[in-house]
Every structure is written in C-alpha cells, then in structure tokens.
Amino acid sequence: MQIQRDKSLLLMVDFQARLLPVIDGGEEAVSEAAWLGEIACLLEVPVWLTEQSPGKLGGTSTSLLACLSNHYRLWQKQHFGAMSEDDFRQALNATGKTQIVLCGTEAHICVLQTGLGLLEAGYELYWLSDASASRRPQEAVLARERACQSGAVAVSADMVAYEWLHRCDTALFKEAHQQLLKPRSTRPVRFF
C-alpha cells in the first residue's frame, strides 16, 4: 500500500531542544524530519509537532521550526503517547487523515507509545526510521521492530516524499525538485 499525500499527516514527536543533545543521532533525525517537513509544507500535507513537558525539556528545535515556515500545528502533552491526550485524539480524528507518518524522540518511549495508540485507533502508521532516535541506538531499533510487529510499516524520508509526489511530470515535482536534491545529514543513517 502506498502513502498518499491527500490521506497523510506528518507527526513529529518531541524534537525538543534540551533533549536532543543526549540523543544518539539526534541531529541527523532532525535533519531528515526537517527535509521531509519542507516537502510536506510544499505539498500541503499537515505537519503536527508534539512537545513533552516543554517547561522541563524545552521547546521544539528552532532549526526544525525554521524549516516548517509556520506550516505546522503544535501540541503540548503530559502523556508519553499523544493519543492519550483527548484534545489531540479528537482533533486528529476530525482531520479525516488515515495515514500517519511518524518520527521523533525518544523512539522507544513517546514515539512508540504514540504509534501504538495510533495503530489501536485504526490509523495506517508509517514509522520514519531515519528520523526516529533514542539516547541508546538499540532502543530505537527495538521500538521500530515493536511498532512494525504491531502493524506499522518502516519507511525512509525518500520513500515518503516520492510516494507523496507520485510522478515526475507535474508542476509540483518541478517545484519540489530542488528540495529533493538538498543534502541532509552529515552522517549515514543506521538502520541496523
């Protein structure tokens, strides 16, 4: 099954300033998320961000926010899984979107619990592997494996972008072309 932009929402979990320095591969995850976020903005795919207790962990990375050009909705949460927040769950349901592309930190805590909640609610879940990270890399791997065993599909940012674009002979593709070629992380992504 392919990811379709009219059915999609990009959900970025807790890319927070005070948390990112201790995340293994945190910069690379933000870079991949920002790259796909820019494509999402161009294609008018909704981008939602969550922040876990921002008073303690800081707000969302300013470099990520700068890439999204105010084309995002920000949610603050206390539950590790965003679907446990009533206002978030109701607003997501109201969008009519059925395909959620999910990424963030920490993969084995807030991203995983959010993903499991989305699966339980019946959403198609696409785990953005190159933009999901944890303090310990093995925990990010375990989180992806558990999500996929529960029904998620592991994807890369390129997979998502090109499935959203669907073809190369459109004005949208021509507009996105420079963004598609833009360099991203400086370190190779590890998928283990």
Closest CA to 62 of 74, 44, 53, 78: 74
Alpha carbon distance 118, 82 (integer Å)? 9
- The H or E element that residue 146 is part of is helix 137-149
Alpha carbon distance 16, 30 (integer Å)? 10
DSSP character at residue 189: P
Q: Give the mean model confidence (pLDDT) for residues 73-100.
A: 98
Q: What are the backbone angles phi and psi of residue 42, rounded to the nearest 5°? A: -60, -40
Alpha carbon distance 88, 133 (integer Å)? 23
Alpha carbon distance 18, 145 (integer Å)? 27
Alpha carbon distance 46, 108 (integer Å)? 24
- Map out the domains of the chain with their CATH numbers: 5-100+108-181 (3.40.50.850)
Which of 9-13, 25-29, 122-126, 177-181 shows the lowest mean pLDDT across its residues?
A: 177-181
Question: Quick one: pLDDT at residue 185?
Answer: 58
For the stretch 49-69, pLDDT in tens is 999 999 989 999 999 999 998
From the DSSP assignment, how many helices (H) and strands (E) are in the chain? 8, 6
Quote the tokens at residue 83. 């679907």
Q: Give the mean model confidence (pLDDT) for residues 26-49.
A: 95
Q: Which residue has the tokens 């539950």?
A: 79
Neighbours of 185 (CB within 10 A): 17
8 strand-pairing partners = 99
Question: Quick one: pLDDT at residue 171?
Answer: 85
The pTM (predicted TM-score) of the whole model is: 0.93
For the stretch 117-164, pLDDT in tens is 999 999 999 999 999 999 999 999 999 999 999 999 999 999 999 999
* Residue 189 predicted with pLDDT over 60: no
Q: Could you give the C-alpha distances from 53 to 14, 93, 95, in angstroms and in order? A: 9, 23, 25
Q: Give the confidence band of 7 by pLDDT, cuts at 50, 70, 90.
A: very high
Expressed in percent and rounded to 5, the helix, strand and coil fractions of the chain are 50, 20, 30
In this predicted model, which residue has the larger pLDDT, 181 or 46?
46
Residue type, position 62, single letter: T
